[in-house]
Amino acid sequence: MMQTVELPIWLFILILLFAVVTFASHFLFPSVRWFFRRRMERVVKRVNERLERPIEPFKLARRYDMIQRLIYDPEVSQAIADHAKRNSVPENVAFEQARKYAREIVPSFSATAYFGIAIRIARGMSNALYRVRLGYHDGAGLSALDKDATVVFVMNHRSNMDYVLVTYLAAERSALAYAVGEWARVWPLSRLIKAMGAYFIRRKSRGDLYRRVLARYVRLATQAGVTQAMFPEGGLSLDGKLAPPKLGLLKYITDGYTNGDRDVLFVPVALNYDRVLEDRILMAADVAGTRRFRARISVVTGFFVKQFWLRISGRFHRFGYAAVSFGPAVSLSAHVQTHGAPDAEQLATELMQRIADIVPVVPVPLLASVMCDRESVKCDELPALLDAELSKLKSAHIHMPRGEISYAAEIALKHLSERRILQTEGDMIVVDEKQRFALRYYANSIAHLKR
């Protein structure tokens, strides 16, 4: 019992490592997890006290538990069996594939990451790049929404800044869960996005098993009351126009709805900008007839480095106005009572129309609308032309800086001149013919508002 035993040094180190891992897994890790869990609960409690719509327990569940719940869900189990039969593979292989999809989809929400980091970044970026304004905004109506209902913000998609802007403006109401495309599945961005409660979707996936796993997750989140945000257009607008809706996530929500379920309130949200940061990339993709965006990390990094240098050198100017409108909510239960059953296509059309009706009018799109079919105008005629263009817009929500049409003309002309889309020659404003497509891009954002 008391004899000395000699061991090779490598074996001693291996035994010591096993002992450390065992101690950590049985004593240390649970204590650490308990500490951070208690801390998170305190953070969530403080945050919920100021939110109009408190964070739902569904978002706070451990990611591992949510993955297990999803892959063992009866609907997913049936999807696994169907996939195995259809592709002649063992069910355990199909099960592992479904687990892979679930791990890819399910986020790991962190209240600290969302409210401590993401909201501050969103606020800082929004106000650093734009003069942010609210267009149509029924604050009383939004505050009066049924607290037991699930709220889904349904938005047009002009820029990747849409995520940032709406996250910032909705910060006092709730934490939003976005459906994010594959562009964001890059480490470490993917970890931050998942910590913010967003879930990834494969926009080009045609696999039935993947779609059924994703559909079930969306339904579980909706039934649990998770506040969400989605873009029914399915992608960024390449030509500036509102695109026809794609059913996608909206159909997942409506297909899983039955009478007596928690109501779903769709809030239309419309955004517009004096400058879309990635406009050149989008216009080039439109000309090429493809959605393959050639946006390299080096280009994006170079853009932000340039803006940072302009800022520290005192030459930076914000990119004009960014305006957001929030429309009246559309109730899914009321829709079902009217139509007898959920009709995703009809609902998507109605929501896109409501978004179209509240698109804000800001100076640059207004001036672009005036100039896109003209070769030149006199400088002193510009305010009157903008005023005449406004008269063509039906019940538009217009942001007029300082309430002066002449100042709006001055601001818009300054931005378009800096980008060499318009040029001032003596007392004339002249369109650069090589840039006319850019004028049409911005004019298209409000073209649907004309009588």
Q: How far apart are CA 223 and CA 73, in angstroms?
A: 14
Residue that is written with structure tokens 């409506």 in the block? 254
Cβ(168)–Cβ(123) under 8 Å? yes
Mean pLDDT for the stretch of residues 153-167 = 89
Instruction: Give yes or no for a cis peptide into 188 (omega within 30° of 0).
Output: yes
- Banded model confidence at residue 157, pLDDT cuts 50, 70, 90: very high
Q: Average the pLDDT over each of 66-75, 187-196, 231-240, 276-285 and give the range with the smallest value.
A: 187-196
Query: pLDDT (tens digit, 9 = 90+) per residue, 418-448?
Result: 999 999 998 999 999 999 999 999 999 999 9
Q: Average the pLDDT over each of 12-21, 68-77, 91-100 and give the range with the smallest value.
A: 12-21
Centre a 10 Å sphere on the Cβ of residue 33 and count the other Cβ atoms it contains. 11
Q: Quick one: tokens of 117?
A: 């980091």
Q: How far apart are CA 285 and CA 255, in angstroms?
A: 34
Please report the pLDDT score of residue 34 as a whole number. Answer: 46
Q: Average the pLDDT over each of 36-50, 53-67, 324-338 and give the range with the smallest value.
A: 36-50
Cβ(399)–Cβ(361) under 8 Å? yes
What percentage of the chain has pLDDT greater than the value 70? 80
6: Cα within 13 Å, side-chain hemisphere: 0
**pLDDT over threshold 90, residue 294:** no
What residue type is assigned to position 260 of the chain? Answer: G
Cβ(320)–Cβ(217) under 8 Å? no
Please report the pLDDT score of residue 50 as a whole number. Answer: 62
Choice between 96 and 7, residue whose per-residue pLDDT is larger:
96
Query: pLDDT (tens digit, 9 = 90+) per residue, 190-240?
Result: 666 666 677 778 776 668 999 999 999 999 999 988 888 899 998 889 999
Query: pLDDT (tens digit, 9 = 90+) per residue, 350-392?
Result: 999 999 999 999 999 999 999 998 999 999 999 999 999 998 8
**pLDDT over threshold 60, residue 301:** yes
Choice between 72 and 183, residue whose per-residue pLDDT is larger:
72
Q: How many helices (H) and strands (E) does the chain have?
A: 21, 13
Read off the pTM: 0.84
Centre a 10 Å sphere on the Cβ of residue 227 and count the other Cβ atoms it contains. 25
> Which string of b and e fits 259-281 if b means at least 16 CB within 10 Å?
eeeebbbbbbbbbbbbbbbbbeb
What are the start-end ranges of the E strands in 340-416? Answer: 360-361, 376-378, 397-398
Bridge-based pairing state of the strands 428-431 and 376-378: antiparallel
- Banded model confidence at residue 413, pLDDT cuts 50, 70, 90: very high
Q: Which domains does the chain have, with CATH numbers?
A: 104-277+319-358 (3.40.1130.10), 363-447 (1.10.10.10)
Q: How far apart are CA 66 and CA 58, in angstroms?
A: 8
Q: How far apart are CA 145 and CA 441, in angstroms?
A: 36
What residue type is assigned to position 97 of the chain? Answer: Q
Q: How far apart are CA 283 and CA 296, in angstroms?
A: 16
Rg for the chain, CA atoms, rounded: 26
Please state the three-class secondary structure of 143-165 as a single string. HCCCCCCEEEEEECCCCCHHHHH
Cβ(238)–Cβ(286) under 8 Å? yes
Please report the pLDDT score of residue 375 as a whole number. Answer: 92
Query: pLDDT (tens digit, 9 = 90+) per residue, 122-149?
Result: 888 889 889 999 888 777 777 778 888 9
Give whichever of 46-50, 60-64, 125-129, 295-299 has the largest mean pLDDT.
Answer: 125-129
Q: Quick one: tokens of 451?
A: 């009588």
Cβ(233)–Cβ(445) under 8 Å? no
Q: Alpha-carbon dihedral of residues 49, 51, 56, 62, nearest 10 degrees?
A: -80
Q: Is the dihedral of CA 87, 92, 93, 97 positive or negative?
A: positive
Choice between 184 and 120, residue whose per-residue pLDDT is larger:
120
Residue that is written with structure tokens 């994006």 in the block? 300
